[in-house]
Structure 1
Amino acid sequence: MNTPPPPDTDTPRDLVGIGIGPSNLSLAALAHPLAELDAVFYEQRPRFDWHPGLLLDGARVQVPFLADLVTLADPTSPWSFLNYLKTHHRLYPFYFAERFHIQRAEYDTYCRWVADHLPGLHFRHQVDAVRWNPERDIFEVDFTQLDTDGEAEALGRTHTRNIVLGIGTEPYVPDPLRPLVEAPGVPVLHAADYLAHRDTLLAAGHVTVVGSGQSGAEVFLDLLRHRPAGHERLHWIGRTEAFAPMEYSKLGLEHFTPDYTRYFHALTEPVRDRLVSAQWQLHKGIDAGTLAAIHDELYRRTLDGGWPDAVLTPGVRVRTAGRISTTRIELHLEHTQQNTRSRLTTDAVVLATGHRERPLDRILAGLDPYLRRDSRERPRIDERFRLVLDPSVTATGCQVYVQNAERHTHGVGAPDLGLAAWRSATVLNTLTGKDNYPLPTRTAFTTFGLEQRQPQIPPARRPPTLTPLRDGI
């Protein structure tokens, strides 16, 4: 659409949030009682939706219900999960259910309740560009308002002193399989779309699930439970050396605390990059209960003798893939330990290959001249979740904050729901210069590192000063 943007007339806001997923919804909920804060949030989708293709019956969120949008920063907030239950007259049933981990569908419903009642949230608003206006010392945000069909209805522009990017993640498809997803014919789809195509997959002759994480396990279990005994015709493969359980020990979980986040951020860039790949079992492993359910289902199918027609093979990567007919696909596999290769013919493929952070480059293109990057050209992000920008921008007090796109600087907890409220509170305390949400000085029994850095809590914003940019931010 080539229509020029509207004239530059908006009164600057204090905060514009881009994206309304759990991270920015948490920020909006905690910002709501701050009456002096003029905040607005934009989302191009028509409503809040949290991984709708994976809301399988019985699938549970892998963090306790206390990791809602607000509780770990403000247990008295009206936007807590417990208040959601109370509002819907479900507090006693939840009490007697004794469920520390709630169903994924219930978490999605809770978030939609918050999104439906919070002011300042604008769905069907697609942000097109973010720019810095050096003449006014302000950010410009251009957006397109979409109609019910997703078509452009109107253009708009707003101005703001602060921006919070919460654009979330997107399904990841490995390069060897990308052409198959984009071509018609045999169903090859990402697990994010599983429920929409479940009937087609259940009717397929042979189904292959690629990916050894939680979503792969849940999809495999769901297919296994709904295919006849002796005729399962399922193959589950993954790159990891085992279908490994997620690290869920009490001290292991302390990697998802503010203490560890601060420790990780202070490490050098090469050490951080090495840790991110090495800590896969902290966030890419499989819930032990799901693994047990898969084994139970497989074992049940041996009671009458014989073995189920289901193959589980870890340590396998897909080298290449192609269609051998209008109804069949051939995957070329390699076993990484045996250094052997084979071919697998299948009628459908589910890619449980995870999600990756959406690239910030498109939305930040207008800020590129001011943006500081690391040795791998990733945006630098400071300890308070702010993009490291040129001092000519930050000296004005204007900032761009990042939510759930900072794993390379803040570690494994970046996408974890249990840190969302703390991160949102940190952003709001820094942005307002007030201690709106007092944060704990210590959150883990583990002491990470020999050198202790003080203060542990990011202080409230002070008057801006020009300081040299440090490497490794």
Structure 2
Amino acid sequence: MSPTPDTPRDLVGIGIGPFNLSLAALAHPLAELDTVFYDQRPAFDWHPGLLIDGATIQVPFLADLVTLVDPASPWTFLNHLKSRDRLFPFYFAERFHIQRAEYDAYCRWVAENLPALHFGHQVDAVRFNPERDVFEVDFTQLDTDGEAEALGRTYTRNIALGIGTEPYIPDPLRPLVEAPGVPVIHAADYLTHRADLLTAEHITVVGSGQSGAEVFLDLLRARPHGRERLHWIGRTEAFAPMEYSKLGLEHFTPDYTRYFHALTESVRDRLITTQWQLHKGIDADTLAAIHDELYRRTLHGGWPDAVLTPGVRVRTAGRIATTKLELHLEHIEQNTRSRLTTDAVVLATGYRERPLDRLLAGLDPYLRRDSRDRPRVDEHYRLALDPSVTGTGCNIYVQNAERHTHGVGTPDLGLAAWRSATILNSLTGKETYPLPARTAFTTFGLETPRPQIPPARRPSTLTPLLDGI
């Protein structure tokens, strides 16, 4: 028998990206949980503007939504292949890292088959009702055109926020997006505007991470030799490869996450600024493909009309004339400045976590924050709330909003299943999904030393003889 509208659910998920999709998939077989997940989009999609042909995800296919905690789940990537009669082709393809488009198709398959997911539902507000000891979630049901169709309210004891990230544009570059008639796009929308971009005489890509590299490579492949007219700039001192050594990857394990969470706030903040190459560097294969493409164009003499300049920041930017853009550049190491005129710009400047305050404004009196006014998050991914809320058994879990407390693995797909299982174990109050006690060969901190007391020396009839030798 289905619950009445006033019956509190066990869990409401807000946002259906890969992380809450993982949570929904692992919650699906748990009959004791009543769950529902809302997303304002009409259907699942995952970075559609960056599903460039040949671009791969940066984690192995085993880092799907469920496998690393429940390989027998019906929602594994391998079961997706089986449902499409593609297991043997995948087997012979010998691909450890799958294409982005294939990962997106896998997530769509899961999303289309989980009954707890409700797309076209925009969550408007979240409040705590102290009289009923539950959260109230107000939402608007949207029609196919995205217009409001009906209003609704759901009551729940627990919430999982998976509202994702949003494209980030640094302040010096904001004047560019206010220049109508000139192609200036964020990399998140690259494929949507690719055809228009290719008509531009000169194109500049800003950003030295993976997205910038993939966009530059795709543009390079699409432009004829001698008429590339491309410029790629970035703030980092080099177009640096991502740290991908075996032991380096152990920073994306539960062991490191636990270690990081136990550090002091000031140490965590300092570490985050030093670990950019663990998650913001460029895949070595992408760098090799760019070099191969450039090298191929030198075989008959001459150099491609493409400029790659790291160590550069944009001081200011804006439109000049009618169809031109001008970037005022500063080389960080040389302390020199110059101007770059271009016809189109792709801003591969990354993403930022969506502020939780927009959605949780009604809970602000209950939220507990750190010294920088960020939400506190415990080891089980629960927001720190006033005891008047948590004492009732109500909790708010976050997914991909806790890098300041849980470290570089926060946005990594490889930790999705483990975090989802951790949340479900916390929510059910039992080991619903058994998790390993150890996941890395590296020991990230010193254990509390114990006094080393030598054992008592046992008397021996040989002692006098030995002492005399």
Decide which of 201, 205, 218 is 2:214's aligned counterpart: 218
Give the aligned partner of residue 469 of structure 1: none
RMSD, aligned CA:
1.1
5 Å-filtered alignment, 1:145-294, equals 145-294=141-290
Separation in 1 of the partners of 2:216 and 2:191? Answer: 13
- Give per-residue Cα distances to partners, 1:34-58, cap 9 Å, x unaligned: 0010000000011110000000010
Tell me whether 1:337 sits opposite 2:333 in the alignment.
Answer: yes
Decide which of 12, 15, 39 is 2:11's aligned counterpart: 15
Separation in 2 of the partners of 1:375 and 1:195? Answer: 41
Give the aligned partner of residue 453 of structure 2: none
Separation in 2 of the partners of 1:212 and 1:206? Answer: 18
Decide which of 110, 120, 123 is 2:119's aligned counterpart: 123
Shifted more, 70-79 versus 169-178: the winner is 169-178
Alignment partner of 2:435: what SS?
coil
Tell me whether 1:398 sits opposite 2:394 in the alignment.
Answer: yes
Separation in 2 of the partners of 1:182 and 1:22? Answer: 32
Give the aligned partner of residue 464 of structure 2: none
Alignment partner of 1:192: what SS?
helix
CA shift at 1:182, angstroms? 3.5
Q: Are residues 331 and 29 of structure 1, via their aligned partners in 2, closer, same or farther at CA, if it must alter by over 3 Å?
A: same
Contact 2:179 2:319 in 1 (8 A): no
Query: What letter is aligned with 2:293?
Result: E
Give the aligned partner of residue 456 of structure 2: none
Separation in 1 of the partners of 2:259 and 2:270? Answer: 15
Give the aligned partner of residue 467 of structure 2: none
Give the aligned partner of residue 353 of structure 1: 349
Separation in 1 of the partners of 2:161 and 2:314? Answer: 34
Q: Are residues 92 and 208 of structure 1, via their aligned partners in 2, closer, same or farther at CA, if it must alter by over 3 Å?
A: same
Decide which of 74, 88, 92 is 1:92's aligned counterpart: 88
CA shift at 1:183, angstroms? 3.4
5 Å-filtered alignment, 1:391-430, equals 391-430=387-426
Tell me whether 1:62 sits opposite 2:54 in the alignment.
Answer: no
Decide which of 372, 375, 380 is 1:376's aligned counterpart: 372
Separation in 1 of the partners of 2:63 and 2:5? Answer: 40
Decide which of 430, 436, 443 is 1:440's aligned counterpart: 436
CA shift at 1:9, angstroms? 5.7
CA shift at 1:174, angstroms? 1.1
Separation in 1 of the partners of 2:373 and 2:448? Answer: 29
CA shift at 1:186, angstroms? 0.7
Query: What letter is aligned with 2:244?
Result: Y
- Give per-residue Cα distances to partners, 1:368-405, cap 9 Å, x unaligned: 00000011100000000000000111011110000011
CA shift at 1:231, angstroms? 1.0
Give the aligned partner of residue 108 of structure 1: 104
Structure 2 unmatched ranges of 5 or more: 450-469
Alignment partner of 2:13: what SS?
strand
TM-score, length of structure 2 as denominator length: 0.94
Separation in 1 of the partners of 2:179 and 2:162? Answer: 31
CA shift at 1:452, angstroms? 6.2
Query: What letter is aligned with 2:28?
Result: H
**Matched residues, number:** 446
Decide which of 132, 141, 144 is 1:136's aligned counterpart: 132
Query: What letter is aligned with 1:380?
Result: R
Separation in 1 of the partners of 2:298 and 2:5? Answer: 71
CA shift at 1:175, angstroms? 1.0
**Bigger radius of gyration among the two:** 2
Contact 2:179 2:318 in 1 (8 A): no
Separation in 2 of the partners of 1:326 and 1:76? Answer: 59
- Give per-residue Cα distances to partners, 1:44-78, cap 9 Å, x unaligned: 01111000000001000100000000000100000
Separation in 2 of the partners of 1:50 and 1:406? Answer: 20
Alignment partner of 1:158: what SS?
strand
Give the aligned partner of residue 467 of structure 1: none
Separation in 1 of the partners of 2:13 and 2:364? Answer: 19
Query: What letter is aligned with 1:173?
Result: I
Separation in 2 of the partners of 1:334 and 1:373? Answer: 37
Alignment partner of 2:267: what SS?
helix
Query: What letter is aligned with 2:167?
Result: P
Give the aligned partner of residue 5 of structure 1: none
- Give per-residue Cα distances to partners, 1:272-303, cap 9 Å, x unaligned: 01111110000000000000000000011111
Structure 1 unmatched ranges of 5 or more: 1-7, 454-473
Separation in 2 of the partners of 1:128 and 1:113? Answer: 27
CA shift at 1:131, angstroms? 0.4
